[in-house]
Chain A
């Protein structure tokens, strides 16, 4: 088992290198001058050249890539052009906030998605199934920034129950586990949970229906298991795939929450990416993308390991 885990982690290293190469190239392929946001419009050619050398933009791309990746391995992702702060620090503060938001959203989505999925799978083609399917299709189809704004209008503007934006009182970006901070989490987490909920519900419904149609369900009944006893077997059969889908959804939410974080001004990676793009802050942009991509890879490794412990048919050789 330990060998299997080690092997999975080793496999991840070349993937991460490839990911780093792709995100570096993409950022540099995009047109535009990265120095435009810090240079005054009337800057002299002398000053431009000086800054270009300072940030290393005068060197060849392969040279830039290798010096970036070598420093990245030691945890140094460079300095943000716009704020002159360490990219590593900026990214990890944002990652922490996004991780909190995405984890809550995935947990809510997984809970309700599994609930709807099991109910729909067990009561297939009944009214309950149609209702659960309707809710999950809505979850996938509704634009979430729109849903976010609707929730803000109802619960923040009209009812005044919850704050509309930010991650803490007074616009603070430092998270704490108290109600003053937690209440800022409610609306964005619910908005964000709607997509994983829909996808997990659809997946679980199909898995449950498929499992219930298997011969071994009759076998389990024939050996005298009650409905609840059979249900436990169904859960263990459904769990590996459901967990894999949940892990992938968490991965998407870690990087793909630009719209929601912008609507709620949540100081996470999506918000950071948004501002890095608009300010053409290349070191910040490529650092953020790299960290998110590595998270995604590691999450996949984790899901692989979890799955193989739950489903003996996934080989550990």
Chain B
């Protein structure tokens, strides 16, 4: 592992519930994020990307969740922090922005009050100082007339403004790591790109390390240095953005990229889709979880555990058929 790694996840397993109803949301995720790097976790709903992200702050209800493996963030062993050390860690070292800020902000406190509360909680400074800092944050995330907006309640702001306020709240205590849980999904397209540009700019000026969860490949390409593709609780392929976009080697990544509209589709032309549905996480099949939907699958794919195959520097895919997956599908079947 790299010396510069600020986030190191090793063999993370997250199981909700127990017994036969146990849902294995994350099955052995290992991920390394270097300081100042942005990594995008992409995948469809239920692929375990948000669960992985929330594990970094240990936000899952401890009673119903069992977490195995190890998570190190900026030198903190997250899974063994005491509860008071954990709350010091949250927001101060590592903070999070959410998909829908209208739900993630307390509706009966003004946005400014929530930012001030966070600053006072971690920095222990006076209210006047915290207020000054909050104002500077609002200017930093480019909210117009910041004094007035600080006194506004979440429901009084527009969607884009709320997400900016949420980012200001997350940056309130100068964290080193920012976790973004689908921060643009709830916004309309023109606002999405503004928020992505803002995140990229903040990442550069503040030297943040960002883990960005999304199911929007376009958004991932816009902000990320590296992409990790998740399916059924595992990272199935990981590499830098260029490699993943140009030469994906896992059949799932390939199918995902093909199911996007490139530029314009001709009238009447069907958009490529992935047949079947994602597996039930309570009843995962043996072998590769994607095999039932995979055009390249062979019998060998349906047993044992699939190891990560290294395909060059910082590129890997969890697939037994990487020898043929770079070829178009028809040729591979003949081979």
Which residues does A use to contact B, with CB under 8 Å? 214-216, 218-227, 229, 233, 236-237, 240, 310-313
Contact of A219 with B105 in the complex, beta carbons under 8 Å: yes
Asked if B201 is an interface residue, CB under 8 A from chain A, the answer is: no
CB pair A223–B169 under 8 Å, yes or no, is: yes
**Across the two chains, which residue of chain A brings its CB closest to B121?**
A224
A229 CA to B113 CA, complexed, in Å: 13
- Interchain CA distance A223-B178 in the complex, whole Å: 11
- Is the Cβ of A215 less than 8 Å from the Cβ of B98? yes
Scan B101-128; emit 1 where CB is below 8 A from any A CB, else 0: 0011111111000100110011000000
| CB pairs A–B below 8 angstroms (16 shown) | A222-B57, A222-B59, A222-B91, A222-B96, A223-B91, A223-B172, A224-B89, A224-B95, A224-B121, A225-B117, A225-B121, A229-B117, A233-B109, A236-B106, A236-B108, A313-B108
- How far, in angstroms, from A220 to B90 measured CA to CA in the complex? 10
Determine if B84 is an interface residue (Cβ-Cβ < 8 Å).
yes
Pick the residue among B84, B90, B122, B156 that contacts A222 (CB under 8 A): B90
Q: In the complex the two chains form, is A226's CB within 8 Å of B84's CB? A: yes
A224 touches B91 (CB 8 A): yes
**Considering the chains assembled together, what is the distance between the CA atoms of A218 and B83 in angstroms?**
15
Q: Let me know if B107 and A229 touch, CB within 8 A.
A: no
Which residue on B lies nearest to A310, using beta carbons? Answer: B108
Residue among B84, B118, B156 making CB contact with A223, cutoff 8 Å: B118
Known contacts: A214-B103, A229-B121, A313-B153. The answer to whether A221 contacts B108 by CB under 8 A is no
Contact of A237 among B107, B156, B172 (CB under 8 A): B107
B155 at the interface (CB under 8 A from A): yes
- Measured in the bound complex, the distance between the Cα atoms of B122 and A313 in whole Å is 29
Given contacts A218-B98, A219-B96, 11 further A-B contacts (CB under 8 A): A216-B107, A219-B98, A222-B91, A222-B95, A223-B114, A223-B172, A224-B90, A224-B95, A225-B118, A310-B108, A312-B153
Q: Which chain B positions have C-beta within 8 A of A236?
A: 106, 108-109
Neighbouring A residues of B107 by C-beta, 8 Å: 216, 237, 312-313
B92 contacts A by Cβ under 8 Å:
yes
Interface of A is mostly: helix
- Give every chain B residue within 8 A of A313 (Cβ-Cβ): 107-108, 153, 155
5 tightest A-B contacts by CB? A224-B91, A219-B104, A215-B103, A224-B90, A223-B91
| B100 close to A (CB within 8 Å) | yes
Please give the distance in Å from B312's CB to the nearest CB on chain A: 36
For A215, list chain B residues within 8 Å (CB). 98, 100, 103-104
Q: Are A216 and B88 in contact (CB under 8 A)?
A: no
Residues of B within 8 A of A311 (CB): 108
CB nearest neighbor in A for B84? A226
Known contacts being A215-B98, A224-B122, is A237 close to B106, with CB within 8 Å? yes
**Chain A hits for B259, CB < 8 A:** none
Q: Tell me, in angstroms, the Cα distance from A215 to B100 when the chains sit together.
A: 9
Check: B87 CB closer than 8 A to any chain A CB. yes
Task: Chain B residues near A221: list those with CB within 8 A.
Answer: 57, 59, 87, 90
Most buried by B among A214, A218, A229: A218
Residue of A nearest to B154 (CB): A216
